[in-house]
Structure 1
Amino acid sequence: MDHNASADEGIRLQKVLANAGVASRRASEELIVQGRVRVNGRVVTELGSRIDPERDLVDVDGTAVQLDASKRYVMLNKPTGVVSSMKDDRGRKDLRAFTRDWPERLFNVGRLDADTSGLLVLTNDGELAQVLAHPSFGVTKVYIAKVKGTVTPQTIAKLTRGIELEDGPIHADKARLLDTSGGSSLVELTLHSGRNRIVRRMMAEVGHPVVELVRRQFGPLHLGTLPVGRARELTKVELGALLTLSRQGSDAPPAGVERDSDADQEGTP
């Protein structure tokens, strides 16, 4: 439905915003009058405007708003030894143990390797999951890898410049050496590739096999202080950022971005 629908159709925009928890009805009216609210990409300043919350897309100050209260978005700090599946047919430990606090049927957005820990998104929003997992939509991920040996600045430069793997060239968007001690190093890698076990293969190629691997960031989401094995719902700010990212992706997946078929797969267990 277009936001110019007749007055007896849809729900008033300020009521929709208030129901979504954006602000009180009065404050939502102010946002509308100030031209800070868009419906389907067009600024709406008329307080009488009505929309269809099930079909129309709303954003405030350029940040997407979720109007469907039945949608759930959860951040998990996945432990090692857990496969990224809601039901593993081989009897291994899966993600079901971490979703019991939510009545909705959640599923994972992309995958993390069984021996990789860190940030995994669980949701019942199939549309968002599909966009973030689109082959041409490379979500930026940040990993911290503990690797064997002492990594040199030259090796860091090589990772960002690019290396050749058996399935083609690859480079990190960013690479930082965080620490070297006791015969091992900590390296932070930022990349948007979703190739199978890509971080492990990159570090092995430059002579520093991975000992431990954790994903700290996924797109706009940061693991922060969330303990391993714990899950929490996204904050409104985090959800807005993630929805904004996914809506940009559904409009026009960036051209020339490396294939990323599992959105954030560090590797199949």
Structure 2
Amino acid sequence: MRSSGSGKSGGRGNNRGAGNNRDQKQGQGRPRKPRPEERRYDVGPGATKDGPKSGRGGARPSSGKGGGRTAPARSREYETRIEERNRDRYAGRKDVKLPKTFPGAEQEGERLQKVLARAGYGSRRACEELIDQARVEVNGEIVLEQGKRVDPEKDEVKVDGLTVATQSYQFFSLNKPAGVVSTMEDPEGRQCLGDYVTNRETRLFHVGRLDTETEGVILLTNHGELAHRLTHPKYGVKKTYLAHIVGPIPRDLGKRLKDGIQLEDGYARADHFRVVEQTGKNYLVEVTLHEGRKHIVRRMLAEAGFPVDKLVRTAFGPITLGDQKSGWLRRLSNTEVGMLMKEVDL
């Protein structure tokens, strides 16, 4: 009596033997097909009869659960021959000109509503409504029809009388904290304005300067002409400061500042002066002037006999500090940008 273990072993042996006999019978009749591991997948002109002669690869991948084979990549030499053949085939052909598919396509420039939308005035539909409301003008003429085309680099576009920055300009207001240097990079490693805009793709630069210990509004932009005009004495853009001084102060201090204070580099005059708050001998005064000389407010008050303990710039032209926190950077609205440009005749 044979054991179960020897029976199973014998079964495996018989199966193996049957497989070998089957291969032998196939070999006696017709030629045996190569097994998958024996097949060759040569491509190109030099392919053998066991592999495909075209450049499309070998056997198709199987869709069964067991997975399949993928065709090997074509050789670099064969790919080069294909590329040269295609290049020669299309070398003499002229460029195909697509037909105009809408009226006015042959005109130059961009549609006005698209330019306004890119400048941040809302969706194209919202910009079309601005045109319908006769609030948009191009080169001094109000636009009354849809579909007008403009050249953003040459045409002057305005909404509600304010110029639109139609190109990819950026405008920011930073509430600069005390201790920050008014440069985009500092070789000494001190904290500077550039630290607040390191993640911007476009290079920005600051408009004017603030003393290291002075806080408040400072503008950052990549619009060179606007920055130049905002700081040029010709346009006289006003800046407003709040200064903390110790009194008592005379009643004619404001008049003296408006009449002019003699400094080592000439007279300096304030456009406006008022006392905002008084607590005992401590005064908070507001000074507005259009000059931009270095330390101008500190030097004027010190020459008048009242050194400044703390100074904050609360406004640069139409851009005010408001409730913007120290160290916060905010993007200017389209209206604010338009007001800045109007201030300097842009």
TM range (shorter): 0.7 to 0.9
| Cα distance in 1 between the residues matched to 2:292 and 2:326 | 23
Letter in 2 for 1:40: N
- Picking from 43, 46, 58, the partner of 2:157 is 58
Seq. identity, %: 50
Asked if 1 retains the 8 angstrom alpha-carbon contact of 2:184 and 2:195, the reply is: no
Question: Pick from 21, 41, 55: which aligns with 2:140?
Answer: 41
Alignment correspondent of 2:18? none
1:169 paired with 2:267, answer yes
Tell whether the 8 Å contact from 2:230 to 2:237 is kept in structure 1 after alignment: yes
Letter in 2 for 1:162: G
Q: CA deviation at 1:234?
A: 1.3
Shift of 1:180: 2.3
Q: Tell me which residue corresponds to 1:196.
A: 294
Name the structure where strand makes up a greater proportion of residues. 1
TM-score w.r.t. structure 1 length? 0.82
TM-score calculated relative to the size of structure 2: 0.65
- Give the counterpart of 2:307 among 193, 209, 223: 209
Correspondence for 1:143: 241
Higher percent of residues as helix: 2
| Runs of 5+ unmatched residues, structure 1 | 251-269
Secondary structure of residue in 1 paired with 2:155: coil
Contact 1:178 1:186 in 2 (8 A): yes
Number of matched pairs = 243
Amino acid at match of 1:125: H
Contact 1:14/1:29 (<8 A) preserved: yes
Greater Rg over alpha carbons, structure: 2
C-alpha RMSD of matched pairs (Å): 2.2
Task: Quote the Cα distance in structure 1 between the aligned partners of 2:233 and 2:290.
Answer: 11
Work out which of the residue numbers 220, 236, 243 in structure 1 matches 2:318. Answer: 220
Deviation readout 1:93-134 (Å, 9 max, x if unpaired): 211221134332221111111111110011122222122122
> 1:17 and 2:109 equivalent?
no
| 1:153 partner SS | coil
In structure 2, the residue matched to 1:263 is none
- Report 1:88-237 matches (<5 A): 88-237=186-335
Q: Indicate if the aligned counterparts of 2:231 and 2:292 stay in contact, CA closer than 8 A.
A: no
Q: Distance in 1 between matches of 2:262 and 2:326?
A: 33
Residue 184 of structure 2 aligns with which residue?
86
For residue 71 of structure 1, what is the aligned residue in structure 2? 169
Cα pair distance change 1:89/1:23, threshold 3 Å: closer
Residue 314 of structure 2 contacts residue 321 of structure 2 at CA under 8 Å; is this kept in 1? Answer: yes
Structure 1 Cα separation of the partners of residues 127 and 106 of structure 2: 19
Instruction: Structure 2: state its 5+ residue gaps.
Output: 1-103
Deviation at 1:91, TM superposition (A): 3.4
Shift of 1:74: 1.2
Distance in structure 1 (CA, Å) of the matches to 2:175 and 2:127: 35
Letter paired with 1:83: V
Following TM superposition, by how much is the alpha carbon of 1:187 offset from its aligned partner in structure 2, in angstroms? 0.7
Deviation at residue 158 of structure 1 after TM alignment: 1.9
